[in-house]
Structure 1
Amino acid sequence: MASKLISGAATALPDRLPCGERDRTMFFPRRRTTPRAARDFVVATLTEWGETSRLDDMRLCASEIVTNAVLHGAPAGRQVLVRVSSLDEHLRIEVHDAGDGTPVQRVPGESAVDGRGLLIVSATADGWGVQQRTGPGKCVWASFDRDRSGASALSRDTAPKGDPS
């Protein structure tokens, strides 16, 4: 990963990884419309790959993490990078920004109007975290285990049960 998020066209960069793993990346400008565009990118990518069993969870987490990057992470004039990965054991969303600071999960008061994003991600994803990048910025990620996906559950549930004789 480059140390600086570059300016340029917001285009998807498809990548085929070894062992059938998939990875797709897209840059987004720091705008109010970016969370919606990033959600659409995540949904379109997962749908194209046939990975729809946790689509709503992944859409929600992408929205929360990208919103945080736009509001608190990406400096003015910089972009946000969103990566969707289909790995052997899990699906993963990464959001990279060039901002300082490390996001932390908060426990907002009952009447607070914000501060619930990472709480939602923590409750929805099977794992999440923050990684420092080479150079400025960070990567906030959320992962979703395959054993909770419909495809894996379906193959386990349709296996023959009982005595075959």
Structure 2
Amino acid sequence: MSLAISARTELVREGRRWVTAQAVRCGASPAALATITLLSSELVANAVLHGPADGAIVVRARAAGPVFRVEVDDDGHASPRVRHAAPGDAGGRGMFLVDARAARWGCYQRSPSGKTVWFEARM
């Protein structure tokens, strides 16, 4: 299943809610649901912040056995990187959280443009 949204800050919540609803439908445990909700919010927020202002974002979510996978497409080209933000920094923790909490995550470039960032969490 997928959800297409515009790259607007106010739509991050819509992406997060949609992924959470899919995870609930697939039977995610409460602990998995917390992780899936947090990490999907971070990926959608990153797509909004680092992709083109007029870009489109596509969010996909699916379960395969005990694993729940979320993929976020955007029109940006830069691959995400894990940063280690200083205590006073206002941001820069999104991919750090993804790296710390996801079972696996990655990024691949799409042709002709854009990228997909994904994570997997145990259900």
Q: With structure 1 as the length reference, what TM-score do the two structures score?
A: 0.70
SS of 1:111's equivalent? Answer: coil
Structure 1 position 88, deviation (Å) = 2.9
Q: With structure 2 as the length reference, what TM-score do the two structures score?
A: 0.92
Map 1:77-116 onto structure 2 (within 5 A): 77-116=54-93
- Aligned residue identity for 1:124: R
- Give the number of the structure whose alpha-carbon radius of gyration is greater: 1
Matched, 1:118 2:95: yes
Report how many aligned residue pairs link the two structures: 122
- Aligned residue identity for 1:65: L
Superposed CA RMSD: 1.3
Identity over aligned residues, as a percent?
Answer: 34
Aligned to 1:49: 26
Task: Give, in whole Å, the separation in 2 of the partners of 1:52 and 1:82.
Answer: 21
Runs of 4+ in 1 over 4 A off after TM superposition: none
Matched, 1:72 2:50: yes
Aligned to 2:11: 34
Structure 1 position 91, deviation (Å) = 0.9
Task: Give, in whole Å, the separation in 2 of the partners of 1:103 and 1:47.
Answer: 27
Higher relative contact order by CA 8 Å / sep ≥ 6: 1 or 2? 2
Structure 1 position 49, deviation (Å) = 2.5
Aligned to 2:37: 59
Structure 2 residue runs without a partner (length 5+):
none
Structure 1 residue runs without a partner (length 5+):
1-23, 150-165
